[in-house]
Amino acid sequence: MHLCVSMWSLHRKFFDDGWTVMDFLEFCSTHDIQHVELLDVFWRDEANEVAKVLEYVHDHEMTVDVYAVTNDCVQSDRSKREQALASVLKGVEMAKKFSAPVVRVFAGDLKEGYDFDSAVGYIVDGFKEATARIQNDNVVLALENHGKLAGRGDQVKRIILDVGSDKLRSTFDVGNFYLVGQQPMEALAELSGYVAHVHAKDFEPSDKGFLATTGEYFAGRECGSGIVPYGDVVNMLRTIRYDASLSLEYEGDGDEIDGVLKSLAFLRSVVDQTTNV
């Protein structure tokens, strides 16, 4: 298991301060971060940036562990479902360019008139088609537990099983489960055979921040300063023989650079302490 940083950890630097993907990579190189997660939302001039990013990653011996796409399968309009599929397939092609083995995907957003049972057919059909298209590619899709349509471990597992392809696995986001009233260790037990990617973040109960389905609020914090039981999580990941990236997705309100570096230091200590467990 190795540490990785998702560019989402520094999304305010992009949206507020004008950072580019290259700025993110230079930050990572400066701080000896070798493994990164890139996202499709961060291209400012994709046609010109991709070649430069590929060159930089190669020259600095960095690895793109994951390429993340933005897709919404829950659409009554067929053309919009086709757009979601196209987004996933484009992500696969980008992942292949970067030699990234995982494409992180979403189920979609909960819309008026839908619940999980009425929306899951769209999700399953979308990923059945996507996985059929990538059978010969050395890439897997990893569905993140995110939102109300695939937020719980049992929901993610049902989608994976209903799709029925080893090309669809789980992006296990340790923090997001709190937002749907589930403990991460419970969810990890449900998804233990399906995890292809892990997001590391931390939350604590608050009077503002992310609103959970329980009516509670959670605020993002540096890893190690919130409620995620990281020792238990990492031990369980080792027990199930997970040996890919532990990708930091910092979502705290404080200074992002400070939060990322402190979170990495904590995660590194946890991984080191559990190496022989």
CATH number of the domain that 68 lies in? 3.20.20.150
- The reported pTM is 0.95
Determine the pLDDT at residue 277. 43
Question: How confident is the model over 154-207, as pLDDT tens digits?
Answer: 999 999 999 999 999 999 999 999 999 999 999 999 999 999 999 999 999 999
Number of domains, the chain: 1
Distances in whole angstroms, Cα of residue 262 to Cα of each of 8, 59, 151, 225: 16, 27, 27, 10
Give the range of the structural domain holding residue 34, as residue numbers without chain letter.
2-273
Chain-wide mean pLDDT for the chain? 96
DSSP assignments along 204-266, one per residue: EEESSSEEPTTS-EEEEE-TTSSS--HHHHHHHHHHTT--SEEEE----SS-HHHHHHHHHHH
Query: End-to-end distance of the chain based on CA atoms, in angstroms?
Result: 13
pLDDT above 80 (res 275): no
Q: Quote the CA–CA distance of 16 and 216 in Å, as a whole number.
A: 28
Determine the pLDDT at residue 254. 87
Question: How confident is the model over 82-136, as pLDDT tens digits?
Answer: 999 999 999 999 999 999 999 999 999 989 889 999 999 999 999 999 999 999 9
